[in-house]
Amino acid sequence: AQLPALLAAMPKAELHMHIEGSLEPEMIFALAQRNSVTLPYPSVEALRAAYAFTDLQSFLDIYYAGASVLLTEQDFYDMAWAYLQRAAADHVVRAELFFDPQTHTARGVPMQTVILGLSRACRDAQAQLGVSAALILCFLRHLSEDEALQTLQDALPWRDHFIGVGLDSSEVGHPPEKFQRVFARARDMGLHVVAHAGEEAPPEYIRQALDLLKVQRIDHGVQAVRDKGLMQRLARERMPLTVCPLSNQKLQVFPDLRDHPLKALLDAGLCATVNSDDPAYFGGYVNDNLRAMFAASNMDARHAWQLAANSIDASFAPPADKAAWR
Ligand code: HPA
Ligand code: ZN
């Protein structure tokens, strides 16, 4: 009975959320109106009704359409600020936000507009909400490595406004090995490196992310449960997995949360964390994910504390901050 209150109140880090995935339908329509963008949906209700996903790609098609309303620096600021306020309410003390610059630069929105809008919201979050927030630039893996290299190059003038790079979008058919050069360059620049791996694709993608991209965290990683040797390695190396239960449910990776392997991952000694991925599309923010996951499993308060501790340990926050939150 105390568990829901503990889950809500415990200080936590959110390490896997795509800021474009925090755009609620109401904000999509408000921004469309502000920017005179025509949407292929007549109403908020019609848009929400389209959120019936069968797999990752069926989601991505709608997610990229939603992001098309973002044009100005203020749009990016407003989106991130709305999320950060919501995160503060969930007792998130540290948020590391993914953003997809290629989704915007391809539409003619300058890199500077994207980064400065998001970055200003992160700065205000620290000052006004007490939330430590940072940005991770993601490459779209359905595009080429040359385009990823160009994107990193284009972002260099704002190198101090993001802390790392990631890899997202359509996974199957776009393995980590495709991005070895751009990840090597990012590491050389002192950027943190993470990658989505093992969301829908097999455990081999997780091995490649570790061995070829040398990532510091695996985003999702839930397919590791199909590979016993990999599970042992992830536990031994304390390699963080940023797990997103409601995303996995909505994208039919684990259609029933009672079959979700989160408890198995924790009990096997892996550094698993709980995150919202795309909260506006998957039915909830980080505390909603925790609540749903605990309601569907027999995890206890020890699992809750472990998840909170894991999230802070796995964050890229300064060690002094981590010590204060733990
Ligand atoms: N997987 C891959 N790409 C994404 C996701 C995801 O869950 N969310 C936004 N882009
Ligand atoms: Zn994701």
CATH number of domain containing 286: 3.20.20.140
Does residue 325 belong to any structural domain of this protein? Answer: no
Ligand 2: distance of its center to the CA of 276 in Å? Answer: 8
| Domain carrying residue 177 | 3-320
What is the full DSSP assignment across 145-186? Answer: HHHHHHHHHHHGGGGGG--EEEEES--TT--GGGGHHHHHHH
Ligand 1: distance of its center to the CA of 2 in Å? Answer: 33
Does residue 148 belong to any structural domain of this protein? Answer: yes
Structural domains of the chain, count: 1
Q: How far apart are CA 13 and CA 102, in angstroms?
A: 26
pLDDT value of residue 1: 61
Task: Tell me the average confidence (pLDDT) per consecutive run of 10 residues in the chain, 326 residues long.
Answer: 92 99 98 96 96 97 97 98 98 99 98 99 98 99 98 98 99 98 98 99 99 99 98 98 98 98 98 98 98 97 98 98 95
Is the predicted ipTM greater than 0.85, yes or no?
Answer: yes
Binding residues for substrate: 278
pLDDT value of residue 267: 98
pLDDT value of residue 219: 99
199 is catalytic: yes
What b/e sequence results for 167-182 when a residue is b if at least 16 CB atoms lie within 10 Å of its CB, and e otherwise? bbbbbeebbbebbeeb
| Least distant ligand from the CA of 169 | 1
Does residue 326 belong to any structural domain of this protein? Answer: no
* List 147, 199, 204, 237, catalytic entry: 199
Query: Candidates 60, 244, 248, 249: which one to mutate for ligand 1, based on the most atoms within 8 Å of Cβ?
Result: 60
- Identify the residue whose C-alpha is closest to ligand 1 atom 9: 18
pLDDT value of residue 326: 87
Ligand 1: distance of its center to the CA of 147 in Å? Answer: 18
Nearest atom of ligand 1 to the alpha carbon of 199: 1
Query: Candidates 142, 179, 196, 275: which one to mutate for ligand 1, based on the most atoms within 8 Å of Cβ?
Result: 196
Does residue 241 belong to any structural domain of this protein? Answer: yes
